Chains A and B, each alone.
Chain A
């Protein structure tokens, strides 16, 4: 004690015991390194997973998305009460369908002066704004479906009408006449009914029960307008 007290003032005479000298023997052992690489004890499998979607080939990425879109197409064509369309929504399918439909429905530049069919932009706007309006309507009525889920369902259910457009285009290559028109009318009506059934199978459950008809009617109007545009298409 006396030595320790005198040690700061008297460096030369006695060997002062350094403060905390005993600690170095106790806490820091030679075995534990305090320098070097710090490795976080993570499972190496996670790091492999993270880099796999980043480093995978473009073909894999595209094929994965295309398979998801194709799976949803199958769900639309054979509508069962399943949640797949709602759970993993994506907007690639609706975009592909809408662009295809608008490309086929637009009038050529030849008769653009006359009051003809819709332009590409008009079809695009009608489909997307119609879908947004229906979604807002169903949300305002108290439905518990999310915004993008509803857009996804409405967009995917245009698939039967796109198929009808393709069929109509093929039928129009044949000679015009009333039989031609009856065939087109029949195909369009059939696909229109298919679209309605498919979309109500997915959307009806999300509405409160006393307002189902109020939420389904705008869907009916939406697909009716698209069917009318398909039916009255003249090349």
Chain B
């Protein structure tokens, strides 16, 4: 009978579906206040929560949709704001380093690896490692080059560490700033499809400097030819990463401006590596003397001092 059906207990479906049927129903949601600001970080929070918020017509969920590209929801004077820049796992950092070492033509570093999650961990610590790698390798290589000389007194040259730090950190932050400003200016004139945020540019530059760490260590080898080959290889790899990243950003522009931009980027990169090689690593002049003339000089000097 109909009465029996009316008296049947009504199963309340999931909140989502029942609200989908009756969107105007008033609902009470008890949310843990601590979880709300963390909703956007950590994809493992559970997508069910986001569905509920969307159907509840929560204002924050609308903002979540719009702010999907920028997840900095905390004000800049809180600690959580800066934590969003370090939201990377170990494997992600390794993937990004791998991507900077193996530039695949056609694959954009930013699109492929960064994917709107720029981090500051990579750029900062790669630059720190590079500073110490260059200073230590320079010191070691100078020591090895002047090893036989009796007049050479070894000094650790600690002052060069601060110079290296200034140069590398200035390069890793000021050049992206200038490039970002330039791209923003061109964007206002010519509509580009691809545009990068400042942090993404800093990220690309930071990770592209990674190749110079093994290069600096290999620069200890006191052969000029070897050093210049290393410069070329490193410049080729990191320059191509940068060029392939920024070519889509300037492609729609005037041909000459686009080419000039890319050439400037690569030129500045080359300037950095050649400058570091010239300043921190002494030229290995001894190896250029032919062995015939060198040997009697050395034996004479050895006889004098023994």
Contacts and interface: CB of A to CB of B under 8 A. Distances in A.
Interface of A: 111, 114-118, 122, 137, 139-142, 210-214, 217-218, 221, 224-225, 228-229, 232-234
B220 to A, nearest CB: 14
A183 B201 CA distance: 46
B89 A210 contact: yes
> Which of A111, A140, A213, A224 has the most C-beta atoms of chain B within 10 angstroms of its own C-beta?
A140
B305 to A, nearest CB: 15
Contact of B125 (A111, A139, A218): A218
B82 interface: yes
Nearest to B83: A140
Contacts of A122: 158
Contacts of B136: 228
A109 B6 CA distance: 99
Interface stretch (B65-73, B110-118, B149-157): B149-157
22 contacts: A111-B155, A114-B155, A115-B155, A115-B157, A115-B159, A116-B155, A116-B156, A116-B157, A117-B155, A117-B156, A118-B158, A142-B83, A210-B91, A211-B88, A213-B90, A214-B88, A218-B125, A228-B132, A232-B154, A232-B156, A233-B156, A234-B156
Nearest to B86: A140
A210 B90 contact: yes
B211 interface: no
Contact of A234 (B85, B93, B155): B155
A221 B128 contact: yes
Contacts of A225: 132
B121 A116 contact: no
Given A224-B132, A228-B136, A234-B156, 4 more contacts: A140-B85, A213-B90, A214-B93, A233-B156
A221 B132 contact: yes
A114 B157 CA distance: 9
Contacts of B139: 232
Contact of A221 (B91, B93, B129): B129
A169 to B, nearest CB: 15
Interface of B: 79, 82-83, 85-86, 88-91, 93, 121, 125, 128-129, 132, 136, 139, 154-160
Contacts of B82: 140
Contacts of A213: 90
B31 to A, nearest CB: 22
Residue with the greatest number of chain A CB neighbours at <10 A, chosen from B79, B85, B89: B89
Most buried by A among B83, B90, B91, B158: B158
B160 A115 contact: yes
A141 B86 contact: yes
A115 B158 contact: yes
Those 7 A-B pairs whose CB atoms lie nearest each other, nearest first: A140-B86, A232-B156, A210-B89, A118-B158, A213-B90, A117-B156, A116-B155
A211 B125 CA distance: 14
B128 A116 contact: no
A117 B89 CA distance: 37
Contacts of A217: 125
Select the residue from B88, B129, B155, B156 with max chain A CB neighbours within 10 A: B156
B136 to A, nearest CB: 6
Contacts of A212: 90
Contacts of B128: 218, 221
A195 to B, nearest CB: 17
A141 B128 CA distance: 17
Contacts of B159: 115
Given A213-B90, A221-B129, A141 B156 contact: no
A191 to B, nearest CB: 18
Contacts of B121: 137, 140-141, 214
Given A116-B155, A234-B155, A211 B90 contact: yes
Contacts of B157: 115-116
Nearest to B158: A118
A5 to B, nearest CB: 65
